[in-house]
C-alpha cells in the first residue's frame, strides 16, 4: 500500500472546486437525507447510490483537491512502514522513530521491522495539534498580560 498523495493538476483542482460546490450544496439542502444518496453520472446519466458517509468523505477529498493539495485515502486499520508513517506525518523517518521509541506513537514489530497503525498516527496528530493550540493560547495570553499585543 502506498500513502503517497495523488497530486491534482490545475484542471483537476478547477473541476474539484465545481464538484465541491455542488456536493456541499446538496448536503446543505438535504441535512436529513437518508443514509443512501443517489448520484448521477453526468456522461451516461447512470444513477449510482452511495452511502451518505461516502458522499461526505468525497466532499472532504474534493476540498483538498480544490486547494491543490494531494490526497491519500488510507484505511484507519492499515499498518504502515516507518517511511510511510513519516510521510503521512510530514516528518523525517529518524524523527518518527524517536517518537516510536519514546512511546508517543504505538507500533508493533514484525520480525525486526516496525509497523505503525494509521489510527495510532492520527491519534498522535490529534494530541499534538491540541498541545500546539494550547501552547499558542498560552503565548497569546502572556502577550496580552504583558501588553505586547
Residue 68's region, left for phi above 0, alpha for psi from -120 to 50, else beta, is left
Rounded Cα distance between 77 and 119, Å, is: 6
Q: Which of 32, 37, 57 is nearest to 49 (CA)?
A: 37
* Segment 31-61, tens digit of pLDDT: 887 788 888 888 899 999 999 999 999 999 9
How deeply is 82 buried, as exposed, middle or buried, from its count of CB atoms within 10 A (0-12, 13-18, 19+)? middle
The domain limits of the chain are: 10-66, 79-145
Q: Residue 34: what pLDDT?
A: 74
CATH topology for 10-66 is: CBS domain Like (3.90.1280)
Q: Residue 55: what pLDDT?
A: 92
pLDDT lower than 50: segments of the chain? none
Q: Residue 4: what pLDDT?
A: 57
Amino acid at each position: 500500500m502506498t500513502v503517497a498523495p495523488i497530486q491534482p493538476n490545475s484542471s483537476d483542482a478547477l473541476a474539484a472546486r465545481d464538484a465541491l460546490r455542488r456536493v456541499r450544496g446538496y448536503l446543505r439542502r438535504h441535512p436529513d437525507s437518508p443514509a443512501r444518496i443517489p448520484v448521477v453520472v453526468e456522461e451516461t446519466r447512470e444513477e449510482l447510490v452511495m452511502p451518505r458517509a461516502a458522499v461526505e468523505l468525497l466532499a472532504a477529498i474534493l476540498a483538498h483537491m480544490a486547494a491543490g493539495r494531494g490526497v491519500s485515502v488510507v484505511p484507519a486499520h492499515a499498518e504502515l512502514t516507518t517511511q510511510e508513517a513519516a510521510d503521512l506525518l510530514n516528518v523525517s523517518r529518524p524523527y518518527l522513530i524517536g517518537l516510536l521509541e519514546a512511546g508517543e506513537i504505538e507500533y508493533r514489530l514484525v520480525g525486526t521491522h516496525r509497523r505503525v497503525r494509521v489510527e495510532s498516527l492520527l491519534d498522535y496528530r490529534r494530541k499534538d495539534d491540541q498541545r500546539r493550540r494550547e501552547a499558542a493560547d498560552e503565548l497569546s495570553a502572556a502577550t496580552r498580560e504583558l501588553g505586547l499585543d
